Amino acid sequence: MVPTTRAASPRRRRTTSEQQILAATMGLLHTGQRLPDIPVHDIIASAGVSRSTFYQHFPGKTDLAFRIARPAMDAARATADQWWANSDWGTQEDMINIVRALMAQGREHRLAWLALFDTADRDPEAAALVEGLVLDYVAQMAQRIVREQNVGDWHRSHATQLARLILITTRACILDQLSHHDSTTDETFSVTLGRVLGQAVGLSAPDS
């Protein structure tokens, strides 16, 4: 009897082709190209898949950008939760350590973050999805700020504004650091931003 090889299951084929597309996209990003500028033709040629296979996995560049950035977003949220979801408010040094961790993750996932925000800059759908994530986390941050401040005139609207300011400032500063500076300045950046954020939520600055 002639041995036969079992055909790969549809699920396995889908997983393999998706990984090929993701790997091909990351390879093109490593060449210095921006995701919105990379033609789908170049991605499928590099991945060795058909155009129909690409669109089975990713209806558009926005879906691809979010899929690429998913590990980065999950890691960043888990790190941020160490502060915002922790029962202990912590110290300013704890805040600095959170920024250090976010910065290290930013370096690790630099191309994924840039791909996501480059796409959001050009695609209203992607921008709306990013804004939805921002609003979701701002609400969580604001609840924590209200609980922690516990001051009679600290209204929820003020807490929401502060939470959004902290989140957007942190994101913008880290993206700027990733885009325009090398890792040799990450430590001083993390300490500076951590102190600023710590003071924003009422933590006293450490002694110099």
Residue 1 has pLDDT above 50, yes or no: no
What tens digit of pLDDT does each residue of 58-83 get?
999 999 999 999 999 999 999 999 88
Domain hosting 117: range is 69-200
What tens digit of pLDDT does each residue of 88-107 get?
777 889 999 999 999 999 99
Q: Which of 11, 36, 58 is the last residue of a domain?
A: 58
101 lies in the same domain as 172: yes
Average pLDDT over residues 40-65: 95
What tens digit of pLDDT does each residue of 175-191 get?
999 999 999 999 999 99
Question: Which residues lie below 8 Å from residue 95, measured CB to CB, with a gap of 6+?
Answer: 83, 194, 195, 197, 198, 201, 203
In this prediction, residue 85 has a pLDDT band, given cuts at 50, 70 and 90, of confident
102 lies in the same domain as 179: yes
- Under 8 Å between Cβ of 103 and 154: no
105 lies in the same domain as 161: yes
44 lies in the same domain as 76: no
What tens digit of pLDDT does each residue of 153-179 get?
555 558 889 999 999 999 999 999 999
27 lies in the same domain as 73: no
Q: Which two tokens stand for residue 169?
A: 């400032």
Compute and round to an integer the Cα radius of gyration of the chain: 21
Q: What's the predicted TM-score (pTM) here? A: 0.83
49 lies in the same domain as 118: no
User: Number of folded domains in the chain?
Assistant: 2
Distances (CA, A) of 171 to 165, 192, 206: 10, 14, 24
Residue 5: what pLDDT?
44
Let me know if residue 207 belongs to a domain: no
Average pLDDT over residues 11-21: 76
Q: Token pair 């890792």 is at which residue? A: 183
Let me know if residue 206 belongs to a domain: no
Cα angle for residues 102, 103, 109 (degrees, 5° grid): 85
